[in-house]
Amino acid sequence: MAVAMARAGGMGVLHRFMSVEQQVRQVNKVKRAQGLMVDNPYTVAENASIAEADRLMEQHDVGGLIVVNGDKKLVGLITRRDILLAPDDVLTVAQAMTRADHIVSVGPSVTSAEARALLYQHRLEKLPVVDRDGKVVGLITSRDVVRVEERSQASVDGKGRLRVGAAIGVGAGEMVRAEALLDAGADLLVLDIAHGHADHCIDMVKGLRRAFADAQIVAGNVATADGARELAEAGADAIKVGIGPGSICTTRIVTGFGVPQLTAIMDSASGLAAAGVDIPIIADGGIKTSGDLVKALAAGAHIVMIGSLFAGCEEAPGSPVIRDGQKVKVVRGMASLGAAMGRRAAERDGQGIDESAEDQEDWDKVVPEGVEAVVPYRGHVAEIVYQLVGGLRSGLSYGGAHSIEELQRNAEFIEITAAGVRESGSHDVRRL
C-alpha cells in the first residue's frame, strides 16, 4: 500500500505495531521499490555457492545479485537465469557469474538519459554503480529507468526513491525505533497516539526534536486549538487532527471525548494562526468522498489521511472474501478488540510464552475504542486516488481557487438541514 500510494503521488505511513526490525524492513522495501539507483544493492561473495545466491534472491525478492570480493569491489553479476541454466558441475557463484570485464558499470553521477542509452546500446538489464575505487555503491536496472520516466507524478525524495512515513509511539524504546527508521530512510516520523494533547506526547516531540534536529516530525492526534498550538511549539512540523471521526473508531462513544471533525480542523487551524505558526494540518479520519476531502481542506487542513476508504483496495492487507454475494475486505480499528488482542499475542510470543491456552486476563484488560468490519472491495488504490483528485480539482474550480490556500480564503461554510443533506445526493430516482 505504501508503494502504491507514493506512486500515485501520496505517501503511506507504516504502522508501529510491529518490531523495529520489521518496520525497518518495510521502509527498506518501499525505498527499493523505485528510483533511478538502488543504494546499497544486495550482494553476494564470489566464493559463495549458487544455492546460497539462489536463497538470497528468494529472500530479497530480486532477480540478480552483484558479486563482490572482500573489499566490496565489483567482480561480477549473477542472475536467476545464470543459476537456472548452470550445468551440474557449476557449484559456485564465481563459476556461474558474468565477470566484471564483461559488465558495463557507471559512476554515481550518471543521469537517467545516460543510463537508458547505455542499457539500450549494450542490451543490458542492469548497470552496477561503482565509485572511483571500484567499490559498489548502487545498481540501476532497466525497469527502474522506465518507472522513473513513466511515473512523473510519484512522490519521491531527492534520490528519486518513493517517499514513506513511519509511525512511532511514546513508550520505552521508541527513541531507538525513531533512530532506526530515520537511518533506514524514512522521510518523516509520525508520533501516532490517540490523545496527542498530553504531557508525554509533548515531551516526546521535544525529545525527538533535540535528538533529530533535521527530521520531519508529525504529531497528533488533537482536536483543539490549544492541542495543535502546544504540539507545534514543542517542535512538530505538522499536526494530525482527529479524535474519533474514523469509520471504525468508537473513542467518542467509549470515552465521551472528541470533537466533530470539521470543527476540530477549524479550531486547530485558528489556534496555529493565532500563535503565528505556519505548519500543515493533517485531517485524519472521516473522509468518505472527494467532497469530504474538499471540505477538510477548505476548513484549514493541508493534507488528509485516509483509512477505511482505502481498506478495500487490492494493496491493503488481507485477501478479499465473499460476504452475502459481495466481495469485501476486513478492516480492523487499531484500538479494536481483535487488533489489541493480536498485539498482546505477539508480545507473549516474543517473550516465549505458550499461546496455546487462551488467557482470560488478556481479554479482561482490553477496553476497545474501535471495531472490526468489512468494506467493499474497491480494486486498486490508484483508481480511488484518481477519483479523489478529480473531485478535488472540481472543488477548487467551484471555489474559484487555483490552490488550497486560495480555496481556504474563498470558501464560506453554511449550516445545512437534514432536507438539504438529502437533496445533496441523488434522490427520487432508482439508481442503476
The domains of the chain are located at: 35-150, 193-315+378-404
pLDDT at 410 over 70: yes
**Distances 7 to 11, 184, 220 between C-alpha atoms, Å:** 8, 19, 26
Mean pLDDT of the 73-94 span: 91
Distance CA 262, CA 86 (A): 64
The pLDDT, as a whole number, for residue 346 is 56
Per-residue cell: 60: 530479497
C-alpha cell at 34: 523505485
Q: What is the spatial distance between Cα 230 and Cα 268, in angstroms, rounded to a whole number?
A: 11
pLDDT digits (tens, 9 = 90+) for 350-359: 544 444 444 5
pLDDT at 306: 96
What's the pLDDT at 365? Answer: 60
- Of the residues 115, 249, 313, 384, only one is catalytic, namely 249
The better pLDDT of the pair 183, 63 is held by 183
> Any idea which of 185-189, 197-201, 368-372 has the lowest mean pLDDT?
368-372
CATH level 3 topology of 193-315+378-404? TIM Barrel (3.20.20)
* Mean pLDDT in residue range 186-192: 97
CATH fold for the domain made of 35-150: CBS-domain (3.10.580)
Mean pLDDT of the chain: 90
Confidence at residue 105, expressed as pLDDT on a 0 to 100 scale: 92
Confirm whether 249 is a catalytic residue. Answer: yes
Report the distance separating Cα 13 and Cα 248, nearest Å: 18
pLDDT beyond 80 at 366: no
pLDDT of residue 248: 87
